């Protein structure tokens, strides 16, 4: 059928993710740092995403497209919200002290992936939160000792995950007593999406939360 549907100009898109956050149907996602319409039948054609794009990269077109499928949208949302996987159940990890010169893991919470993290968990109460671009832990050799120790950790990559982190992070910050937030990121441009999402999340939660950004070079130096 021919109907009204959104079109995204990837040349104008800066990967901020504002449209992803605005699209309640989940039709838009970030792919390789650019917004992309993932499924025609998830787009209702109302255009909540349109006024949220700061780059003017979104417009409407009339073209052949699958009809909007409300049932499929609801099923997709339900699947995303389901927490049936044992590996994603919240758990606190007891940090061990090393009896030798070995450095033990400093991780004290599970899960760590932003998409899998619960909105509320007892380990968030009074926590200093570390949000880490996943490459940063591999680039910096003493990451556990210098950054994870004493913090609750959430990890993600805006270039690989087709989601807008701002909404999930904002819900976590709003629902819990987070004392501070530290972001570790790489110097590469795609990590800017995670920093922007976190700034939006802090602004949206309505709280004054101390925020610090630590940037690593590709060879592991702190810039």
Residues 135/98, Cβ–Cβ less than 8 Å: no
Tens of pLDDT, residue by residue over 17-72, are 888 878 888 899 888 788 899 999 999 998 888 888 888 999 999 999 999 999 98
The pLDDT of residue 88: 55
Helix, strand, coil percentages for the chain (3-state, nearest 5): 30, 25, 45
The answer to whether residue 87 scores a pLDDT higher than 70 is no
Alpha-carbon distance of 216 to 28, in angstroms, equals 30
């Amino acid at each position: 059928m021919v109907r009204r549907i959104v079109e995204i100009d990837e040349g104008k898109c800066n990967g901020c993710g504002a449209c992803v956050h605005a699209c309640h149907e989940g039709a838009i996602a970030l792919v390789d740092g650019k917004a992309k319409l993932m499924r025609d039948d998830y787009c209702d054609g109302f255009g909540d995403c349109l006024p949220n794009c700061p780059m003017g990269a979104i417009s409407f077109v009339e073209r052949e497209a699958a009809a909007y499928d409300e049932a499929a949208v609801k099923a997709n949302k339900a699947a995303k919200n389901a927490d049936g996987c044992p590996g994603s159940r919240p758990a606190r990890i007891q940090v061990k002290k090393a009896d030798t010169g070995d450095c033990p893991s400093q991780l004290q919470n599970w899960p760590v992936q932003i998409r899998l993290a619960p909105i509320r968990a007892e380990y968030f109460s009074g926590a200093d939160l570390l949000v880490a671009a996943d490459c940063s832990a591999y680039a910096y050799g003493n990451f556990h000792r210098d950054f994870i120790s004493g913090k609750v950790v959430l990890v993600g990559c805006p270039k690989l995950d087709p989601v807008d982190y701002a909404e999930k992070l904002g819900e976590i910050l709003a629902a819990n007593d987070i004392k501070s937030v530290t972001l570790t990121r790489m110097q590469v441009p795609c990590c800017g999406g995670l920093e922007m999402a976190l700034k939006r999340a802090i602004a949206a939660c309505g709280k004054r939360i101390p925020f610090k950004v630590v940037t690593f070079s590709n060879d592991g130096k702190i810039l």
